[in-house]
């Protein structure tokens, strides 16, 4: 039976004092409830950087990737995260193979901040420029959303976007 795996990552443990954990968990829970899908909240990399792939080699993401590779994650399952920079902050040539390993195993990657769902079928069906091609993958290797959102005095820019994406059922 497909499961939604919520992946939560923040680079520094100090970010637990901010809003990052609550924001990421709440968004994943709303998405799962809206879909009627069981949510596994066990994938957390707290204080684990994705800049050089430490989350992939030593963190919970690495354990998830092993489960995907071994077939312990059912096809049709979901990896739900706030944005693609949770998955990786490495260069695209390093990050893209992990992304494709997940998708090719039949797991859909969901990014809540923009409501995107990256499945193999969607990436094949929408292979026109701007529709399912690499230019749609957003901030792999981009700015760290936590640094933006948890900085003192900075607004929480994701709430409206998450609410809109959730109301649209995660599809755009």
Domains and their CATH numbers in the chain: 4-167 (3.40.50.1390)
Could you give the angle at which helices 158-167 and 20-35 cross, rounded to 10 degrees? 10
pLDDT, tens only, 61-114: 889 999 999 999 999 999 999 988 888 877 888 888 889 999 999 999 999 999
Question: Which is more confident, 93 or 157?
Answer: 93
Compute CA distances 89 → 29, 69, 172, whole Å: 24, 21, 24
Active site residue 6: no
Task: Indicate whether 39 pLDDT > 50.
Answer: yes
Question: Which is more confident, 117 or 51?
Answer: 117
- pTM higher than 0.75 for the full model? no
Task: Indicate whether 153 pLDDT > 60.
Answer: no
Catalytic annotation, pick one of 6, 11, 20, 83: 11
Task: Indicate whether 168 pLDDT > 60.
Answer: no
| Section 12-41 average pLDDT | 86
Helix (H, G, I), strand (E, B) or coil at 86: helix
85: its two tokens:
């920079």
């Amino acid at each position: 039976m497909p499961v939604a795996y919520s992946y939560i990552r923040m680079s520094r443990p100090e970010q637990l004092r901010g809003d990052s954990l609550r924001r990421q968990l709440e968004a994943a829970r709303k998405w799962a409830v809206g879909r009627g899908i069981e949510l596994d909240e066990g994938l957390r990399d707290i204080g684990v950087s994705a800049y050089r792939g430490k989350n992939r080699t030593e963190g919970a993401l690495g354990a998830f990737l092993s489960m995907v590779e071994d077939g312990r994650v059912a096809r049709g399952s979901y990896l739900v995260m706030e944005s693609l920079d949770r998955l990786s902050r490495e260069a695209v040539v390093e990050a893209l193979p992990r992304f494709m390993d997940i998708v090719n195993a039949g797991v859909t990657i969901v990014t809540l901040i923009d409501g995107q769902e990256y499945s193999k079928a969607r990436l094949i069906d929408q292979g026109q420029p701007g529709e399912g091609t690499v230019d749609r993958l957003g901030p792999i290797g981009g700015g760290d959303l936590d640094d933006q959102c948890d900085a003192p005095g900075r607004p929480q820019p994701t709430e409206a976007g998450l609410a809109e994406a959730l109301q649209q059922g995660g599809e755009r």
